[in-house]
Amino acid sequence: MSKEFTIALAGSPNSGKTTIFNSITGSRQHVGNYPGVTVEQKTGLKKYKDYLIKLVDLPGTYSLTAYSVEEVVSRDYIINSKPEIILNVVDSSNLERNLYLTTQLIELDTPLVIVFNMSDILMKIKEKVNIKLLSALFGAPIVQTVGNKSKGIEELLGIAAQVFEKTPERKKIIINYGEEIENEIIKIENLLKNNNDLLKKFNLRWLAIKLLEQDKEVISHLRDTLDDKSFYNLNKLFVYSINHIKNVMRDSPEVLIAEARYGFINGALREAIVDKNDNDMPLSDRVDKVIINKILGLPIFIFIMWIMFQVVFKLGNYPVNWLTIGLNKLSGFLNAVIPGSLLKSLLLDGIIGGVGGILVFTPKIMLLFIFITILEDSGYMSRGAFIMDRIMHKIGLHGKSFIPLLIGFGCTIPAYMCGRTLENKSDRLITMHINTFMSCGGRLPIYILFAGIFFPENSGNIIFSLYIIGILMAIAMAKLLRVTRFKGEAEPFVMELPPYRMPTIKGVFIHMWERTWQYIKKAGTIILALSIIMWVLFTFPMIGNKYSQNYNEQLKTLNSSYVSGSIAKDAFEKEVLKIEKKMAVEKIEYSTAGRIGHFIEPVFKPLGFDWRLSLASVTGIAGKEVVVSTIGTLFSLVKTQKNNTELNSLIAGTYNPLTGYNFMLFTLLYFPCIASLAVFKKEAGTKEMIFQIFFTLTIAWVVSFIVFQIGRFFI
């Protein structure tokens, strides 16, 4: 029987926490959510000797205040789920700031193991480091690791097991906040002591400190759990304490407490570490001289974005083509093997045409996610936010809004979730509302199809132009929303610019795969179901012999005149094709889908869309990828056996480039998909979600209307 225990991983952003997590668990990971919130929770299992260890990756935070949802989630997890061990991952090239979180973890009173990650850098930048002494001062074992080389992981697990077995005995460390504050802590603790429930759940000293820090979450928790009289007394006491401290120390308790924590850290570091005597400018600073230079910063940023699109669209073409060829071969094979029937039509036109048509774009999505992950892991992402802050500020947004907006280019769903990094509600809602205009990966297949058909010479530029229009639209709408619905100033921008780091291949791969897998899963499940539904709508009711003309008779006549030699072969085949096309169109128009398309056509007519594009736009609500499969189905049904004209030339023959471009524009501008709306509702509430629907539909319609009506005069 193996012994089980849980380790929670805590650490600041950029401490290498995720690398350590990946090193320990490998690919055995599960991604879920913390209860009640949309903060991602990654868990993993590890067998070590005869232990079964469950690892929980807490969100990266600098602190355990109530500043952000992530911080609250982290400490709630530690308090409520009581993991056996906390593994505090620390960036050892940046000890002072990273250990600030450690001082707060110590106060939560859970057995702690401190991980000095990137310890190779520590040894390089310091003359001497006394790990043993540091470990004694912080009351927790310290393990040195180099996460990106998986160094020290075995030792880490060994020590965790020892701590679990409670050998050696844990020494309790108390950070002293000075006489004034300590007195008040004791007073509050004494008052709280009478309550058994609190005693069971919390460390009272921690609770007292939080009250002095005026932690809004802790205060509201106590207001809800204590009876009125006890809370009244408690409230009176800690408000008195805070004022007392302010009077005597002439500074607020939270500042004094922070000072004491840094004091504690500095004292420990001074005792245990001997500094080197050189003042070389770190490489990161030298790089930053160029990267966030006031003249070069923005051009470099735009250049990096441009490279990203070039690689994704140009390089990504090759694997997409291979997959398309493979898929065609598969269709051809099945076509030959399976006898003609409804089932065959369902399989070939419905499922392979629908799901396959989307899965072939996976390589491009993967490349995009690889890029975004590299930007995140290398440390450039926060520089991007920094460079963008001035511009973002001008349009009434926060520099940080830039990151969800950038992620929106991949998928809008994680982008909405990422909006949580914005602490201010107005900033967050504006960012979410305009995130739609950041063209997501799901729209990409539409662009690739249409730009390839109508603008084969510069499809890259055409697609780029759509992204730019999306961005301009986002800017305009952000401004509009700021002066109408969400008045007020954007939150001040404060963000760490971590040292540059080489992303690890493993880390990039794991992260990319997680995101890609979500995309594939969506294609595999939702889109499979929708493809089948769509096929049914396209197939039934069947036209039978209710054609407007007697096409079969016409075909017969043609055939006999060909046999008798009164018509040439070329002309004969042309005529047959013409008739077959007419038949196919009537067949679809007779089906349920065709009727829906015709029914809504008047709404889309002013935009230049016929009933087919109208129908595709409606099915796009289910997911933008579905637009391509709808169009695929609409046109592949026209395909006859004698005529192997590809989808592309069929579409090219049906619409002009203006309509093609306008259709791409329309799909760009209205909300991404039904799944994204569900997330929107969860993040921002029903009212905002409904606003999002009408807001984006209106804009999409109006813009496409203007473009089509003006464009008509030029072609």
Partner 1 sequence: MEHIGENLIFLFNAEINRKYKIEKMHGGSIFNMRLLSLGFIPGEAITVINKFGNGPLTVSVKGNKIGLGRGAAARILVSEVK
Q: Which residues bind partner 1 (CB under 8 A)?
A: 62-63, 65-67, 94, 96-97, 100-101, 213-214, 251-252, 254-255, 258-259, 262, 284-285, 288-289, 292-294, 297, 382-383, 385-387, 389-390, 393, 398-399, 423, 489-499
Is residue 53 within 8 A of residue 154, CB to CB? The reply is: no
Q: Which string of b and e fits 273-298 if b means at least 16 CB within 10 Å?
A: beeeeeeeeeebeeebeebbeeeebe
CB of 453 to partner 1, least distance (A): 43
C-alpha span between 486 and 479 (Å, rounded): 10
Q: Which is nearer to partner 1, 51 or 262 (CB)?
A: 262
CB of 215 to partner 1, least distance (A): 9
Q: Which is nearer to partner 1, 163 or 490 (CB)?
A: 490
CB of 497 to partner 1, least distance (A): 4
CB of 405 to partner 1, least distance (A): 16
Closest residue by Cα to residue 389 from 366, 422, 362: 422
Q: Which is nearer to partner 1, 91 or 625 (CB)?
A: 91
Q: Which is nearer to partner 1, 1 or 494 (CB)?
A: 494
Q: What is the DSSP string of 625-637?
A: HHHHHHHHHHHHT
Q: Which is nearer to partner 1, 60 or 620 (CB)?
A: 60
Q: Which is nearer to partner 1, 17 or 398 (CB)?
A: 398
Cα separations in angstroms, 362 against 442, 452, 515, 535: 10, 17, 11, 23
C-alpha span between 488 and 476 (Å, rounded): 17
Q: Which is nearer to partner 1, 66 or 665 (CB)?
A: 66
Q: Which is nearer to partner 1, 97 or 581 (CB)?
A: 97
Residue type, 497: L
CB of 147 to partner 1, least distance (A): 19
Q: What is the DSSP string of 549-601?
A: S-HHHHHHHHHHHHHTTSS-HHHHHHHHHHHHHHHHHHHHHHSHHHHHHHHHH
Is residue 265 within 8 A of residue 100, CB to CB? The reply is: yes
Which stretches of 216-307 are assigned E, i.e. beta strand? 273-275
Q: Which is nearer to partner 1, 57 or 389 (CB)?
A: 389
CB of 386 to partner 1, least distance (A): 4
Residue appearing with tokens 């809370």: 231
Token pair listed for 236: 């009176």
CB of 245 to partner 1, least distance (A): 14
| Helix segments in 39-94, DSSP class H | 69-81
CB of 294 to partner 1, least distance (A): 5
CB of 489 to partner 1, least distance (A): 7
DSSP 525: T
CB of 42 to partner 1, least distance (A): 23
DSSP 367: H
CB of 269 to partner 1, least distance (A): 11
Q: Which is nearer to partner 1, 257 or 669 (CB)?
A: 257
Cα separations in angstroms, 204 against 196, 212, 619: 11, 12, 57
CB of 93 to partner 1, least distance (A): 9
Residue appearing with tokens 């950070």: 175
Q: Is the peptide bond before 168 cis (omega within 30 degrees of 0)?
A: yes
Q: Which is nearer to partner 1, 276 or 390 (CB)?
A: 390
Complete edge-to-edge strand list for the sheet that includes strand 85-91:
29-33, 40-48, 51-57, 3-11, 85-91, 112-117, 142-144
Q: Is the peptide bond before 339 cis (omega within 30 degrees of 0)?
A: no
Number of residues in the chain? 715
CB of 379 to partner 1, least distance (A): 10
Cα separations in angstroms, 266 against 31, 435, 712: 37, 43, 71
Cα separations in angstroms, 307 against 303, 367, 490: 6, 12, 31
Q: Which is nearer to partner 1, 251 or 646 (CB)?
A: 251
Q: Which is nearer to partner 1, 249 or 675 (CB)?
A: 249
C-alpha span between 339 and 401 (Å, rounded): 55
